[in-house]
A and B are shown apart, each in its own frame.
Chain A
């Protein structure tokens, strides 16, 4: 659960592009990527931007106060103490699950029929069954957990604690920190999702921005 001194890679995050702030959007919570658009949670609604133009192209009136995920067909969105399954075509909530930390939940990601949910101040990540909401296992981190993202077999999470924000790769078994991308001062990470290329999209909290950060190559690619 703690960082290994030997081989943790630790470098400055490379911010490729910033989107927003957008009119009428205060805080950006969760983010996800549906293959074309970047969705983000803005409190009373979810919004999607076209990453090429940077314009908002869709909005859904779904309460959206924390993590956001996409399973290939449905969006998943945390609000208050529940996880909503949202049909992106209609904007309808087709199912809801109790959130594992009863509203203390932050980030959300989808992987192989499971949801992974960050518990912010408890510094935990819960793996839950996406049908029942049952908690299958819990990983401990040593920093507040914001966004969570599974990509190419790697588990990453965002953290903002004190004035320090990072994007961290952790060992999903032990919680050991394997890699750290340090965000510049003042750039919060409130949501996290990888695209299909080499980017992470990060929710920027109070800045009202979404930031694209270059994702390091996987160990297989190196």
Chain B
């Protein structure tokens, strides 16, 4: 490392990207290109930063494999911060393997965490969880521990494993404090607020109140029959049934649950399930068919008894019936509740899960996008929608080996 490279790296380390640039702005040797790239990234000039790091990676000599791999990881992390997810993760995997082989295990871990965060941003929760489980974070630098635990917390939160999410947030926060990076601490704290914010509303025997995610988890473990309108699932004490994609059945189940223990008249059920004001004979016939289907779907969870007026829900093995509903009403609330699960959805799958027309769903998505509550990836038929909060943490750039470019 030469004198100006060393002092520019030092300037970057103390958060002075302009000071770093002043030292190497006119140099085009590979370490100078890499440092300029990192400085540009810290200034938010992501496109320029990636171009500089790409040039640096190409310009390092054949023996400087470590430097080249670090540049590739930095470039991938900047792409993530810029929310550019088009690239192939293969280059990143290759860089991680090289770094491991060359003994730079910290940056290899960093590279793999960039991969996990990319999967989270793409709404590929299962793959992210699998990749994260394969990482060894024992003895890793505090910054990387903070990021790994944050990813773990995020996944646990989406899966409503609140105790696990709390523990992971706690470890992430402690590690971020130990690392002494204020932006990272702020990011962890912001993400952790999801634990205490109301995440749904609970309808029990006609009265409604907001609930936090830990209360949602407690509800799922309570043994009560939970008609979950956020995820479109009916949870019982020992099993559950998904009604996503069966909007009529779900509407019937919800109407019956909201009235429980009372029954619901046929006319009301027809109005709720078929959106029809005045019921006619063909509606009644259809209702019989749909109630039959619902009986089959809920076979091990509840009975649906015919009453003089209509139908009543009778839970099996549960003491009570409650409804968990999205915090806001209407299609936008229902869409948001589904996206909060952290997975990505296409417009057509949202429409079929919720039973709205594609047009209604598109209109609601547009509103949500304008309110910055959802975001999309991809174009045309491959376009997918995600909740804004899923994997939102990715803005703190750690930039591998920023200070170790020789």
A120–B63 touching, CB < 8 Å: no
* Segment with Cβ contacts to B, from A8-16, A74-82, A213-221: A74-82
17 residue pairs from A and B, CB less than 8 Å apart: A27-B6, A43-B6, A43-B10, A65-B7, A66-B6, A79-B3, A80-B4, A81-B4, A103-B2, A105-B3, A106-B1, A106-B2, A106-B3, A120-B5, A161-B64, A162-B64, A163-B63
Cα–Cα distance between A133 and B23 once the two chains are bound (Å): 21
Cα–Cα distance between A27 and B3 once the two chains are bound (Å): 12
A26 contact set on B, CB distance < 8 A = 10, 13, 403
A14 to chain B, nearest CB (A): 22
Q: A63 near B: Cβ within 8 Å? A: yes
A162 to chain B, nearest CB (A): 3
Q: Which residue of B lies closest to A83 (CB)?
A: B3
In order of increasing CB-CB distance, the 8 nearest A-B pairs are A162-B63, A103-B4, A66-B3, A65-B6, A120-B2, A65-B7, A65-B3, A104-B2
A103 contact set on B, CB distance < 8 A = 2-4, 23
Chain A contributes a number of interface residues (CB within 8 A of B) equal to: 32
B253 contact set on A, CB distance < 8 A = none
Encode B139-155 as 1/0 by CB contact (under 8 A) with A.
00000000000000000
What's the dominant secondary structure at chain A's contact region?
loop
B7 contact set on A, CB distance < 8 A = 43, 63, 65, 79-80
A51 to chain B, nearest CB (A): 24
Cα–Cα distance between A42 and B3 once the two chains are bound (Å): 11
Cα–Cα distance between A121 and B33 once the two chains are bound (Å): 14
Encode B23-53 as 1/0 by CB contact (under 8 A) with A.
1000101010000000000000000000000
B65–A105 touching, CB < 8 Å: no
Interface residues on B, range: 20 to 34
Q: A73 near B: Cβ within 8 Å? A: no
Cα–Cα distance between A26 and B402 once the two chains are bound (Å): 13
> Of the candidates A99, A121, A161, which one forms a contact with B3 in the assembled complex, judged by CB atoms under 8 Å apart?
A99
A65-B66 CB under 8 A given contacts A79-B3, A104-B29, A205-B1: no
Q: A71 near B: Cβ within 8 Å? A: no
Q: B61 near A: Cβ within 8 Å? A: yes
B3–A186 touching, CB < 8 Å: no
Q: Which residue of B lies closest to A82 (CB)?
A: B3
B64 to chain A, nearest CB (A): 6
In the complex, given contacts A80-B4, A163-B63, what are 14 additional A-B residue pairs having Cβ atoms less than 8 angstroms apart? A44-B10, A65-B6, A80-B23, A104-B2, A104-B4, A105-B3, A106-B1, A120-B2, A120-B5, A160-B406, A161-B61, A162-B66, A163-B103, A190-B1
A162–B2 touching, CB < 8 Å: no
B39 to chain A, nearest CB (A): 16
B2–A105 touching, CB < 8 Å: yes
B238 to chain A, nearest CB (A): 56
